[in-house]
Amino acid sequence: MSRLLVTGASGMLGRAVAARLVADGHDVRTLQRSASRVAGAHDIGGSITDAGCVRSALRDRDAVVHLAAKVTITGPLAQFEEVNVGGTRLLLDEARAAGVARFVHVSTPSVAHHGRSLTGAGAGPADPGHARGSYARTKATAELLALAADDPAGLRVIAVRPHIVWGPGDTQLVGRIVDRARSGRLPVLGDGAALIDTTYVDNAVDALVAALDADVAAYGSPYVVTNGEPRPVVELLAGICAASGVPVPRRHVPAGLARAAGSVLDVAWRTFPLAGEPPLTRFVAEQLSTAHWFDQRRTRDALGWTPLVGLDEGLERLAGWTARQAPAVAP
Query: Torsion angle, CA of 172/266/112/235, rounded to 10 degrees?
Result: 50
Tell me which of 135, 200, 219, 223 is the catalytic residue: 135
Report CA torsion sign: 32, 34, 35, 36: negative
Q: Give strand ranges (E) for 118-254.
A: 118-121, 156-162, 165-166, 188-189, 195-196, 199-200, 222-225, 231-232, 252-253
Q: Between β-strands 195-196 and 231-232, what pairing exists: parallel, antiparallel or unpaired?
A: antiparallel
Q: 168-180 b/e with 16+ CB inside 10 Å = b?
A: bebebbbeebbeb
Is 219 tagged catalytic?
no
Closest CA to 278 of 292, 257, 258: 258
Half-sphere exposure of 132 (CA within 13 A, CB side): 18
Catalytic residues: 135
